[in-house]
Structure 1
Amino acid sequence: MSNKIRWGIISTAGIAEKSFIPALRETSRGELVAVSSRDRNKADAFAKKHDIPTVYDDYTSLLESNEIDAVYNPLPNTMHAEWTIKAAQHGKHIFCEKPLAMSAEEIMAMSDSCEKANVKLIEAFVFLFHNQTLKLRQILDSGVIGDITATHAAMNFHIQRPSDNIRLNKELGGGGLLDGGVYPITFTRFVFGEEPITVQASCLIDPEYGVDTRTTAILEFSHGRFATIQMSMDGPGGQNAAIYGEKGFINIPLPYHPRNGAHLSVKTSDGEEQFSFDDGRHPFTQAIEHFHEVLLDGKELAVPATNALGTLAIVEAIFESAKTGQRVTL
């Protein structure tokens, strides 16, 4: 491997165009060399638009290339495990979109395949690597707001119906929880630094599409601490989170996709202090830079791929609680 990571993208998914490519090009140690699609015309157009030198008309051919070190996998949720495992078997490192997989068994199979092939796997919860989140951890650890008593984390957006949006496609792993709900869940797990004890939730299942579109959940943590999770694909509202402590609270308007204007505020009896993270960089950039450090410098991966197991366990508990009307113990 040279002093740069050569990247290939599996598919021409919109998130690759909107999020991954501009962030990769903000880094100094990675270059985009190839894209693949099962539709050659689509791949050619995508490559021309984004100045990508090599095009493959199937995913396997890209994985077989000796000119690629790592791949970005933004395929539908139900295809993450299959193509991550295949990428590992071809010696490629993988930056996989969230949710990492559809089951704990898939997550472990992906992790085992990567370990066997001596390649690295990272899940694209990019906020975990962002300066805003790193600063948040420092603030929490400082004790300035005291012991955490509760949190609230939400993610809301609107999908107009009728729609062929993949988030409404049950067969491809659609639904609000797996698309957007995993953000507040993962954020909440990060804040508490542990897994919840119980989960109680309600979900609305869209009768036409058969996927969850609205969810509210209460997570109970140790020592009588609680978190509320709210997710909807039925209306605007965006993202937000708040953390409440015995001596103060923290407000984070853009917790999962910190971008221009990103900041957090800390309010205690001593007053309010605001921290800004408006550096103009894309939310994905620091996560990709960290992955480059792991691959090129031997740095330890800050968040192992198996972290996805905790989030998926909560998703499954939410569905079970919503179905049975009972609190679920993890």
Structure 2
Amino acid sequence: MTQQKVRWGIISTAKIGMTKVIPGIKKSEFCDVVAISSRNQSAADEAAKKLGIPRAHGSYEALLADPAVDAIYNPLPNHLHVEWTIKAIEAGKHVLCEKPVGLGATEAEQLLAVSKKHPQLRVMEAFMYRFHPQWVKAKELVKSGAIGEAKMVQSFFSYYNVDPNNVRNQADIGGGGLMDIGCYCISFPRFLFSEEPTRAVGLLDFDPVMKTDRIASGLLDFSGGKSATFTCSTQLMPYQRCIVFGTEGYVEIEIPANAPPDTPCRIWLVTKEKKEEIMLPVADQYTCQADVFAKAILDNKPVPTPLEDAVNNMKVIDAIFESGKSKSWVTI
């Protein structure tokens, strides 16, 4: 009999996992969350009790050795993504790894190389936004020519967090706005255009104490005169938006990255003839992501977002950082 559900183990009790991803996975008809791990047993026990997870492991190694676990979700801090994803692969587990997949393209390529040695395993970067109905619709509108030829993507993503103890504000472990949320702004146009930028220029402002980028802006050059601009920040009023401009209209996505799991989302299609508000059904994007990842495992098919995509996103992030230093365009 074919296995009906993917059995998940969660590596660490990170907040995003506890509050968003695990609840989303648990709602998937194709998934069971069977284990969670922490660096100490008491933290694992507490997390397991809180979320109704059957088993708790007092180390990451114990989770990877658990024969009842098929797939691992890795929400560790950025500097541990590649290390523990590789360990999970070598332990024979499928892996969904939080974004950004590593500290740079070189690390991401190391992960890709290891994953290719284990073609029976599915490994994917967790850009959950792509699977929400609002993004499925937005890409459909762009692809269908509803706004003419799509030429420009403009995005903004910010929050305010100056806590030096927060992992997002620790430079030595991959903190900063560009890695944490700028990765979305870079992924958006790559997803919508279905191609890679050829060069990039960036402007970054760093916190003088924490040494992390607190405001990062970029301009990406795609083929045929297409481009994308973005700004992300860890120290501005919280806001997010993405707009796709075409020759005959535009599509505006109100909450592009943090779509609420319990409220309908809306996007706007604007042309010379009309302004249409499109309401999308309630959907938990983390459940949508779990569904597609689990189906790839159960049906023995490729994941919708291969690791090559993660490598390419990291190449653009690297280029923005390099441009920030050189004050010039950087070829990707």
| 1:177-188 equivalence runs, <5 A | 177-188=178-189
Q: Report the equivalent of 1:316.
A: 318
Q: Report the equivalent of 1:18.
A: 19
The sequence identity of aligned pairs, in percent, is 34
Q: Report the equivalent of 2:102.
A: 101
- Distance in 1 (CA, whole Å) between partners of 2:266 and 2:209 is 39
1:144 to 143, 146, 149: 146
Q: Report the equivalent of 1:192.
A: 193
Q: Number of paired residues?
A: 328
Q: Report the equivalent of 2:210.
A: 209
Amino acid at match of 1:25: K
- Distance in 1 (CA, whole Å) between partners of 2:192 and 2:44 is 40
| TM-score of the two chains, using structure 1 as the length reference | 0.96
Q: Provide the alpha-carbon RMSD of the alignment.
A: 1.4
| TM-score of the two chains, using structure 2 as the length reference | 0.95
Q: Report the equivalent of 1:230.
A: 231
- Distance in 2 (CA, whole Å) between partners of 1:33 and 1:162 is 33
| Higher deviation after alignment, 202-211 or 254-263 | 254-263
1:271 to 247, 258, 274: 274
1:227-268 deviation per Cα after TM superposition (whole angstroms, max 9, x unaligned): 111100112232110111111111111112322231111111
- Distance in 1 (CA, whole Å) between partners of 2:96 and 2:15 is 16
Query: The residue matched to 2:239 in structure 1 has which SS?
Result: strand
Amino acid at match of 2:6: I
Cα shift at 1:162: 4.3
Q: Report the equivalent of 1:84.
A: 85
1:157-216 deviation per Cα after TM superposition (whole angstroms, max 9, x unaligned): 000x34311001112111110101000100111112211122111100111011111011
| 1:18-37 equivalence runs, <5 A | 18-37=19-38
Q: Report the equivalent of 1:53.
A: 54
- Distance in 2 (CA, whole Å) between partners of 1:327 and 1:106 is 23
Could you tell me whether the CA contact under 8 Å between 1:19 and 1:282 is conserved in 2?
A: no
Is it true that 1:262 corresponds to 2:265 in the alignment? Answer: yes
Q: Report the equivalent of 1:246.
A: 247
Structure 1 portions without partners, runs of 5+: none
Cα shift at 1:110: 1.8
- Distance in 1 (CA, whole Å) between partners of 2:94 and 2:152 is 37
Displacement over 4 Å in runs of 4+ = none
Could you tell me whether the CA contact under 8 Å between 2:204 and 2:215 is conserved in 1?
A: yes
- Distance in 2 (CA, whole Å) between partners of 1:220 and 1:231 is 18
- Distance in 2 (CA, whole Å) between partners of 1:50 and 1:303 is 28
Could you tell me whether the CA contact under 8 Å between 2:108 and 2:314 is conserved in 1?
A: no
Query: The residue matched to 2:318 in structure 1 has which SS?
Result: helix
Query: The residue matched to 1:186 in structure 2 has which SS?
Result: helix
Structure 2 portions without partners, runs of 5+: none
Could you tell me whether the CA contact under 8 Å between 1:22 and 1:282 is conserved in 2?
A: no
- Distance in 2 (CA, whole Å) between partners of 1:33 and 1:60 is 16
Cα shift at 1:44: 1.2
Q: Report the equivalent of 1:132.
A: 134
